[in-house]
Homo-oligomer: A and B are copies of this chain.
Amino acid sequence: MWKPDRNSTDPLYQQIANDLEQRISYGEFPPGSLLPSERKLAEQLGVNRSTVVLAYSELRALGIIESRSGSGTRVSSSKWGATPKHTPNWHRYAKGGSFLPNPPFLRRIREALAQDPNLIDFASGELASDLVPVQEMNALMSQNPSMTYFGYVNPQGYGPLRQALVRYLAQYRGIHTTESSILITSGSQQSLYLITQCLLSPGDAVAIEDPSYCYSLPMFQSAGLRLFRLPVDERGVQPEDIRSLYKKHRIKMIFINPNFQNPTGTLMDQERRAQLLNTASELGLPIVEDDPYSLTAYQCEPPAPLKSADTLGSVLYIGSFSKMAASGLRVGWMVAPNSVVERLADARQQMDFGLSVVPQSLAGQFLASSYFAPHLDRLRMNLLYKRDLLIEALRKELQDLVEFHVPEGGHHLWCRIVPEVNDSKLLEASIQNGVIVAPGSVYGSTTGYVRFTFARARAEDIPIGISKFAQALGATIK
């Protein structure tokens, strides 16, 4: 993003006016379209609001923009030639379509992080860059200038990656499968998207955990699904809840994240897993098992997925590189029966014509390389270290104000805030104080929680971040 040059002899407001005039003439803001509010633009450019007020008045004087009170500042529609011509009403188009926008809290988080890269980030569900195997990836790319193919790939995904995954799934996840049962996707996100769009129809009822990552996904609503809650306690969801949801609402599918669940960190217990599989197969119900976190188990053996005990073929299994290696590769996978793989691969051709072969090749090489196992060890040790730093800081700074269970894997700590507090106020106060967290209400119906992601922030920032958060909380509950 362009920023005005504070060392230039041109006044700031003039630089801003010039930049805007160019952006308008290039079509970024077509005739009639709304410009950012003065407050927002000032924030984006890091200048005083009065500077933007001056810049806008300059453009108004030139007839380039118009302001009407109450409806903001717009690019003039009259300036461009004869009256019968006009620009499409892009704002109206942008409101069209069946896609719901992302939840305001998530957009606010993204915006705040883009604005201020120095925020201590407990909100983004992703690894810190020093936990990503950057050197290993680069070594693989430069050691093996072996990519000989840059064409469209098989709709199911690149063959060598699927072969590597067959071995990986057997060795690390106890899942025995074949290349033709694997679909490569753009992370778990696209697996979930394909399932909701192509295997279910608008009006269908599904069960999801509460709280859960899925609640943060308007994707489920965009697909017109009716969502029913499976409350998560310390042992995971209660399989009996599924039977009653099935009776009442004829749910068609169950979405579950049994290993170090996002956001609660819960590990579903063995007994409930067996019951869940039983109940699902009695009802002939499919289970979607979203399993991005299991290999982060800090000290125990990585928990076996439901899929490894799924003799009846009730489970669609979803995995991803994002949480155990690199989210920016955008490589995920689904293990599914033949008819499902074929259907989803075919539909995906319409959406994006498949995933780039380059990250697929890289992911396959990495899985098969001698880098993979040591990377996992290092990752687990680091996550454990960061988790402990977080817990120590929380105990020190917030003592009786918070309650939580200690997660044994994953990236997140789910934390109840004991005093009553408004999510939105707490978020804004935190941002003001230089730290950002994800308000619990993003993930479902419970309020009074915060999700702390400790995977993202630098270790040395964790205590500082919690102390800033403690101040923000203090100010909010006052």
Q: What residues on B are CB-neighbors of A101 within 8 Å?
A: 343, 346-347
Residue of B at shortest CB range from A110?
A: B155
Contacts of A281 in B (CB 8 A): 85-87
Tell whether A339 pairs with B94 under 8 Å between CB atoms, given A326-B150, A350-B222. Answer: yes
Contact with B along A78-116 (1 / 0, CB 8 A): 001100111111110111111101100001001000100
A contacts, CB < 8 Å to B:
1-2, 22-23, 25-31, 33-34, 80-81, 84-91, 93-99, 101-102, 107, 110, 114, 124, 126-127, 129, 132-134, 137-139, 141-142, 145-155, 176-181, 185-187, 189-190, 193, 197-202, 204, 217-219, 222, 252, 278, 281-282, 284-286, 310-314, 326-331, 335, 337-340, 342-343, 346-347, 349-359, 362
- Contact (A186, B353) CB under 8 Å given A30-B313, A126-B152, A337-B27: yes
* Given A90-B340, A190-B352, A199-B93: A153 in contact with B314 (beta carbons within 8 A): no
Q: Is the CB of B330 within 8 A of A354?
A: yes
Number of copies of chain A assembled together: 2
Beyond A27-B313, A30-B337, whether A329 also contacts B134 by CB under 8 A is: no
A139 proximity list for chain B (CB < 8 A): 145
A138-B147, A150-B132 known; A312-B189 Cβ under 8 A:
no
Whether A31 touches B312, Cβ cut-off 8 Å, given contacts A132-B151, A351-B193, A356-B358, is yes
Given contacts A107-B346, A218-B350, A339-B94, are A134 and B152 in contact (CB under 8 A)? Answer: no
The answer to whether A284 and B154 touch across the interface, beta carbons within 8 angstroms, is no
Q: Is the CB of A199 within 8 A of B96?
A: yes
* Chain B residues whose CB sits within 8 angstroms of the CB of A347 once the complex forms: 97, 99, 101
18 A-B Cβ contacts within 8 A?
A: A23-B181, A26-B178, A27-B313, A31-B312, A88-B284, A97-B347, A98-B197, A99-B197, A102-B346, A133-B150, A151-B326, A153-B328, A186-B353, A186-B356, A189-B350, A190-B351, A193-B351, A329-B356
Contact (Cβ within 8 A) B340 A93: yes
Cα A310 to Cα B139 in complex, Å, equals 46
User: Which residues of the partner chain B approach A177 to less than 8 Å between Cβ atoms?
Assistant: 26-28
In whole angstroms, what is the CA distance A134 to B154 when docked? 19
- Residue numbers in B under 8 Å from A85 (CB-CB): 278, 281-282, 312
